[in-house]
A and B are shown apart, each in its own frame.
Chain A
Amino acid sequence: MLSVENLTVCYGQMKALRDVSIEISAGQMVALIGANGSGKTTLLNAISGLVPIEEGKITWEEQSLKGLPPDKVCSKGIIQVPEGRKLFPAMTVEENLMMGAYHPNVRKQVQESLQKVFSTFPRLADRRRQFAGSLSGGEQQMVALGRALMAKPRLLMLDEPSLGLSPKAAAEIFDIIRGLNKEGMTILLVSQEVMQTLAITTYGYVLENGDLVLQDDCKCLQEDPKVKTSYLGM
Chain B
Amino acid sequence: MDAVLIFQSLISGIMMGMVYALLGVGFSLTWGVMHVINISHGAFGLLGAYAAYSLLQYFGVDPVASAAMSVPVLFLMACGLYQLLIRPISRAKNVVMASMILTFGLAIILENIMALIWKADPRVLTPTYSSGALIVGPFYFQYPHLVGFGLSLVGITVLYLFLKKTYTGMAVRAAWQQPEAARLYGVNLFQISMITFALAVSTAGAGGICLALLNSFEPHSHNLWLIYLFLVVIVGGVGNVIGTALAGLIIGVITGLSMAFLPFQWVNLVTFGLLMVFLIFRPHGIFKQEGV
Contact = CB atoms under 8 A, between A and B. Distances in A.
A and B bound? Answer: yes
Interface of A: 48, 50, 69-71, 74-75, 79-80, 82, 86-91, 95, 98-100, 102-103, 107, 131, 147, 151
Interface in B217-252: none
Nearest to A105: B186
B170 A86 contact: no
Contacts of B174: 88, 91, 99, 102
A88 B181 contact: yes
Interface centre among B171, B177, B185 (most CB of A within 10 A): B185
A107 B167 contact: yes
Contact of B183 (A71, A88, A90, A107): A71
B183 to A, nearest CB: 4
A86 B181 contact: yes
A87 B178 contact: yes
Contacts, number: 74
A13 B167 CA distance: 40
Interface residues of B, number: 20
Contacts of B69: none
A146 to B, nearest CB: 12
A160 to B, nearest CB: 15
A103 B291 contact: no
Contact of A102 (B171, B177, B289, B290): B171
A193 to B, nearest CB: 22
Contacts of B188: 69, 71
A70 B173 CA distance: 18
Given A91-B170, A99-B170, A102-B167, A71 B187 contact: yes
Nearest to A80: B184
A95 B167 CA distance: 10
B93 to A, nearest CB: 13
Contacts of B170: 91, 95, 98-99, 102
Given A69-B188, A99-B170, A89 B291 contact: yes
A91 B177 contact: yes
A96 B143 CA distance: 43
A96 B290 CA distance: 15
Interface centre among B177, B290, B292 (most CB of A within 10 A): B177
Nearest to B175: A88
Interface of B: 167, 170-171, 173-174, 177-178, 180-188, 289-292
A151 to B, nearest CB: 6
B290 A74 contact: no
B121 to A, nearest CB: 46
A70 B182 CA distance: 9
Contact of B178 (A48, A86, A95): A86
A91 B173 contact: yes
Closest 9 CB pairs of A and B: A103-B186, A90-B291, A86-B181, A70-B183, A74-B186, A88-B177, A102-B186, A71-B186, A71-B188
Contacts of A79: 184-185
A82 B180 contact: yes
A91 B291 contact: yes
A48 B184 contact: yes
Nearest to A95: B170
B187 A82 contact: no
23 contacts: A50-B183, A70-B186, A71-B183, A71-B187, A74-B185, A80-B184, A82-B180, A82-B181, A88-B173, A88-B181, A88-B182, A88-B291, A89-B291, A90-B177, A90-B292, A91-B170, A91-B174, A102-B170, A102-B174, A102-B186, A131-B289, A147-B185, A151-B185
Interface centre among B171, B177, B186, B291 (most CB of A within 10 A): B186
Given A71-B187, A99-B174, A107-B167, A90 B289 contact: yes
Given A90-B289, A90-B290, A91-B177, A74 B184 contact: yes
A97 B215 CA distance: 46
Nearest to B190: A69
Contacts of A48: 184
A102 B187 contact: yes
Nearest to A81: B184
A154 to B, nearest CB: 14
Contacts of A151: 185-186
A107 B170 CA distance: 13
Contacts of A99: 170-171, 174, 182, 185
A76 to B, nearest CB: 11
A71 B173 CA distance: 17
Contacts of A107: 167
B170 to A, nearest CB: 6
Contacts of B291: 88-91
